[in-house]
Structure 1
């Protein structure tokens, strides 16, 4: 029977790719409409132009040799490029942040629009319950979603994993995507500026189109304070803070929208990955190793290696 992986972000797709390379049958399910997870990107059609926003993770770095090798492969394939405006050693997907995720998802044939609401064990194996899911059993089930979504799935099946996930809390983030009719008088990136945790001129990234597009992310504390606010109010408040950072003047606004990330920056449970060979269930994700894209990759890789070692 195949292995089921719930979640098509960096961790889940890395785990699935490594297992597939080793000849294992893998099925990946994700509730979203397309690949990305926290590396998602958004396009907006406006007046015959396409506006681009990387509204999740802004860039990533590579320290571990395993991830550096993968980054070199992606660079050779043309799906990532350096972005020195963020910092030395920063990389971004091209033409959008989700480009490397999309390559992995396409190779694996991820089933999107599949919402897993519960898992259960029967005599034939593990069964996924929810919307858009196949009526079949799996030998193994892997959870590669944020900690807050892991706990309810595994509460009846693995106490340690569920309790660990429940204790590992993510920071939220309100993100505003704004396009302007003219260049904003700011550096390409700003950070830790009042209510703004990070803001970036998206069109300064390699492979992006010319329209002046900005991603403005609220700080964790600010986003938590306004977490249940209406999106329109968040747009107004963060744009006013952005205007202050720009010296009180902004070009005419062409487009603005807000996205609420309830689980933006993960916690760090310090576990790397979790694998229970007896129950044939496991978990991977940045929440187990640290709030960085590289940590998500390494968590998925380490879980796959643990599964393969078991035979």
Structure 2
């Protein structure tokens, strides 16, 4: 849900797919005299400590050996950030347009906040199935089978995010998830969590929330998502409640950290099959079985499916091999699922380069963090533009902040749900 921001003088708040041009013809500039320099790149002074013992610069090879795989992305980024600094020499235009790269909730919230302050923007996104980042919902025809295969639900702890959510409520895009949610210990012991903070879900899944915003004009963990459809309901574990749970943070199981019944969550009045479940792996399991997510080998997919279904059996307290096989399965690897550390700042902005970054990873790993980060960067850019850009150094933010570890579940953070305290309180009330 992170987005990179730059601005110049282009057109209005629209979604543009990022595509590499297929034409190989060079672009000819026929009248270079009419060009205006708007930025320049300055090289940083070399580090004296890198000189050799003779006092001169470190010798370089005339024909340096190149890897058959080309330059690494890390080396390119390192060169870009340590050797050159882009500085704009032209003043901020009277009618600037912000380019937002990334159409997750953070980027969309930034675009929406910019629009409210009268600043146009264009959103660029590479999503093949739609925008929204982790607000992802997949429908499998012809039945259809419906899965939220990224963000499962969200909570509200900030008044600014509450304003956005209240708008979704008024439009009928979200509702509270009233079904039982709790923690499922290995062996089938389910402990429900008290409903102290409302839990929200998209009425028709998470992706329509992203669509609704558009229509209004780091270290990361890897998580496997297993989408599975069953003909019959899953067995009810040894629970402290009479009704079957709909969502659970799984404890004591190596391969599964979360499981949710999408059918009951999205269609609570529906009876009968199919029963669509989303299972998330633990971060440790995802790391051990990580592969290129663009091309998952069939052998790895089968291994993950079997391993996670075995984990479901352990969580439910079932004997090995007794779980009824799902008639539909699909796995997806979120290779850059959630941050494990964060600078704890709302946004990053470089006024000299006229570029900013927003995303949930800056504040934590929740939908609320993503929205607040986008709003913060929008307001920061708006203030900078309205100042005329004459005092750029006053608007620099987050360029040198250190990263700190963050806590939370493997599938994210949920402000307002303090799980350990609530579970302890619930258990003490039952004794």
TM-score category, normalised to shorter length? 0.7 to 0.9
Partner SS, residue 278 of structure 1? coil
Whole-angstrom distance in 1 between the partners of 2:280 and 2:112: 31
- Matched-pair contact (CA < 8 Å) for 2:262–2:276: yes
Say which of 244, 257, 277 aligns to 2:330: 257
Q: Which has the higher strand share?
A: 1
2:114 paired with 1:23: no
With normalisation by structure 2, the TM-score equals 0.56
User: Is the counterpart of residue 231 in structure 1 residue 301 in structure 2?
Assistant: yes
CA deviations over 1:77-123 (Å, ceiling 9, x no partner): 11111113346311011201122111112333xxxxxxxxxxxxxxx
Structure 1 residue aligned with 2:312: 242
Q: What is the CA distance between 1:270 and its match in structure 2?
A: 1.1
Instruction: List per-residue Cα deviations over 1:170-219 (Å, max 9, x = no partner).
Output: 11100100000111124322223302110111112134766200000001
1:252, CA displacement in angstroms? 4.1
Deviation of 1:245 (Å):
2.5
Within a 5 Å distance, the mapping from 1:1-311 to structure 2 comes to 1=9, 2-33=97-128, 34-45=130-141, 48-84=142-178, 85-86=180-181, 88=195, 89-108=198-217, 168-186=218-236, 187-193=245-251, 194=253, 195-207=255-267, 211-228=274-291, 230-246=300-316, 247-248=318-319, 249-266=322-339, 267-310=341-384, 311=386
- How far apart are the structure 2 equivalents of 1:27 and 1:300? 14
Greater fraction helix? 1
CA contact (8 A) 2:100 2:124 kept: yes
CA distance in 2, matches of 1:306, 1:294: 18
1:253-310: per-residue Cα shift (whole Å, max 9, x none)? Answer: 2100100001111232212101122321000001111111100000000000101112
Provide the aligned C-alpha RMSD in A.
1.7
d(CA) in 1 for partners of 2:227 and 2:331? 6
Given that residues 81 and 206 in structure 1 are in contact (C-alpha distance below 8 angstroms), is that contact kept between their aligned partners in structure 2?
A: no
Return the offset for 1:235.
1.1
Distance 2:377 2:131 in 1: 21
Aligned residues: 250
Query: TM-score scaled by structure 1?
Result: 0.76
Structure 2 contact 344–363 (Cα < 8 Å) conserved:
yes
Bigger Cα Rg: 2
Instruction: Decide which moves more: 75-84 or 173-182.
Output: 75-84
**How far is the alpha carbon of 1:29 from its aligned partner?**
0.6
